[in-house]
Structure 1
Amino acid sequence: MSVTAIIAGAGRLPGLLVKALRANDAPVMVAAIAGTGAEDPGGVAFMPFHVERMAVLFDELTNRDVTRVVFAGGMSRPALDPALLDPGTAALLPRILPALQQGDDGLLRAVIEIFEDRGFEVMGAADIAPALCPGEGVLTQSAPSEQDQADADRAATILSTLGPLDLGQGAVVAQGLCLAIETLPGTDAMLKFAADYPRRPDPNGARGVFVKAPKPGQDLRVDMPVIGPATVAAAVKAGLAGIAFQAGGVMMLEQAETVAAADAAGLFLWSRAL
């Protein structure tokens, strides 16, 4: 029987996917990217690897009857160590190095193509565990006001405009003004910036909305946007009224905990069409 390999970075998502696959009696293993902090979920084969030895990884996956791979978890751009390169991976450098100079989407597309060229089917995390993507609706006791909805619309417009430039997946808008956009440092850095800039034109007006969505045309098999309890905590520190995100295009980890944290803070979580 063919095996699914989870190419794992940091966080809980790899373990959740292992659990989902095992619930369906699907054979699974974890190939953990060295240096990301990927954790062994237990109960399945766990194989750390260096990106400088990707060709060796391909051979090992083939020997283990892997036909499908799923990328999951937090991953930073690797600083390649020439001393670790094997000849097969060195031959891939003309494809890898230019991709490292692109945005996240360009880099990940190149990685997908390399895996597919070696005969692996690249799946998305949402294909394995679709329940991680909430459907449309307000998930919390608090709901967005008319001004919050207008701010969310404004943030969505900003994201759709910047998307072709392969920038980030998030923006913060308050009272119609863009306070922050997500760039290479990521969501946490963006929300920290918003927290460090607490001023609003009307101190008694709308507090602002963080909108999270994939880039237009983004391949959702890798780097699908994710929110969770830590996102709620960061939004609270930034003084925002809520978080809006694209229904079907953003995963919510630890859903019960995330909603409970938002309710406790009086924050809204709004899964909406963007």
Structure 2
Amino acid sequence: MTVTAIIAGQGALPPYLAAALQAQGMPYVTAELDGFAADLPGESPIRFRLERLAPFLDQLADQGVSRVVFGGAIRRPRLEPELIDPRTATLLPRLMTGMAGGDDAALRAVISIFEEWSFQVIGADAVAPELVPGPGVLAGDPSEADRRDAARAAEIVAGLGTFDIGQGAVVAQGLCLAVETLPGTDAMLDFVARHGDLRPDTKGAKGVLYKAPKPGQDRRIDLPMLGPATLEAVSAAGLAGIAWEAGGALLLDRAAMIEAAGRAGIFLWAREP
């Protein structure tokens, strides 16, 4: 039977994937990057370091792993040169070049190395297809102004992605209030919450958070993820709703998101590109 390795970062996605595999009766192991402990109740993850990536990949193979799924957030770790083993030393130049190029370039380098060890790298949606809603409005009713703001935000996110910068933007009344960069979505929404006066018309459209993958991104890793915490931050920022590229984002805990969006008066829209 296929054994799946969950390479777990922080956040709610790794335990969701573990629960999905368990419900399917699929064997799995979990692993976490040293210094970025995942919230995996009841699990005993393998802990690894990039400086010893080759021995870690061997360990996965020894445990019968044939496919790998990545989930959760991590920051770029600082490498300790004295810990690097000889075989990993041959891999690090590719990783370092990728990291210098941006998140997508770094993740492509990681995927290529895992594939060299004959692991099949899959997306989170291959484990839990329900994480990716089809196109349509899931909650609320975006106004025409909201739809124009979402369209403008989609253009901005596509432009950001070309430079491998971020996957999100906030637009209100046609104006870009903030874009996502290395600090992430929470930092972007916190900025908007603290600068509500940037909207030219206080009685006009409140604004939209839009998320989408980067153009040409390998969608097996690092799809934008939206969950209850995102909804809370959008509400705190005074926005009208959340839109995302249909088929291009993971919606965690969909039922709870829809219910909470209804209470908060926030729309949820999987927008067709």
CA contact under 8 A between 2:14 and 2:40: conserved in structure 1?
no
RMSD (Å) for aligned C-alpha atoms = 1.4
Deviations along 1:194-224, one digit per CA (max 9) or x if unpaired, are: 1121121111100100101111111110001
Deviates more, 1:30-39 or 1:149-158: 30-39
**Residue 176 (structure 1) aligns with:** 174
Q: Secondary structure at the match of 1:243?
A: strand
**Residue 38 (structure 1) aligns with:** 38
Deviates more, 1:256-265 or 1:56-65: 256-265
2-structure distance, mates of 1:112, 1:172? 30
Aligned residues: 272
Deviates more, 1:158-167 or 1:123-132: 158-167
Q: Aligned letter for 1:109?
A: R
Taking the TM superposition and a 5 Å limit, the aligned residue runs for 1:173-252 are 173-199=171-197, 200-252=199-251
2-structure distance, mates of 1:235, 1:40? 27
2-structure distance, mates of 1:4, 1:86? 26
Taking the TM superposition and a 5 Å limit, the aligned residue runs for 1:93-112 are 93-112=92-111
Is 1:161 the counterpart of 2:163? The answer is no
C-alpha displacement at 1:87, in angstroms?
Answer: 2.2
Deviates more, 1:98-107 or 1:18-27: 18-27
C-alpha displacement at 1:260, in angstroms?
Answer: 2.1
Q: Aligned letter for 1:36?
A: F
CA contact under 8 A between 2:160 and 2:167: conserved in structure 1?
no
CA contact under 8 A between 2:145 and 2:205: conserved in structure 1?
yes
**Residue 10 (structure 1) aligns with:** 10
1-structure distance, mates of 2:161, 2:93? 26
Q: Secondary structure at the match of 1:56?
A: helix
* TM-score (normalizing by structure 1): 0.95
* TM-score (normalizing by structure 2): 0.95
1-structure distance, mates of 2:21, 2:117? 23
C-alpha displacement at 1:84, in angstroms?
Answer: 2.6
C-alpha displacement at 1:132, in angstroms?
Answer: 0.7
C-alpha displacement at 1:121, in angstroms?
Answer: 0.9
2-structure distance, mates of 1:122, 1:41? 24
**Residue 29 (structure 1) aligns with:** 29
**Residue 72 (structure 1) aligns with:** 71
**Residue 152 (structure 1) aligns with:** 150
Q: Aligned letter for 1:166?
A: D
Is 1:130 the counterpart of 2:129? The answer is yes
2-structure distance, mates of 1:118, 1:242? 43
2-structure distance, mates of 1:207, 1:26? 45
1-structure distance, mates of 2:26, 2:253? 23
1-structure distance, mates of 2:129, 2:211? 18
C-alpha displacement at 1:85, in angstroms?
Answer: 2.0
2-structure distance, mates of 1:2, 1:256? 30
Q: Aligned letter for 1:150?
A: R
C-alpha displacement at 1:46, in angstroms?
Answer: 2.7
Identity of aligned residues (%): 55
Q: Aligned letter for 1:62?
A: A
- Once superposed, which parts of structure 1, at least 4 consecutive aligned residues long, lie more than 4 Å away? none
C-alpha displacement at 1:248, in angstroms?
Answer: 1.2
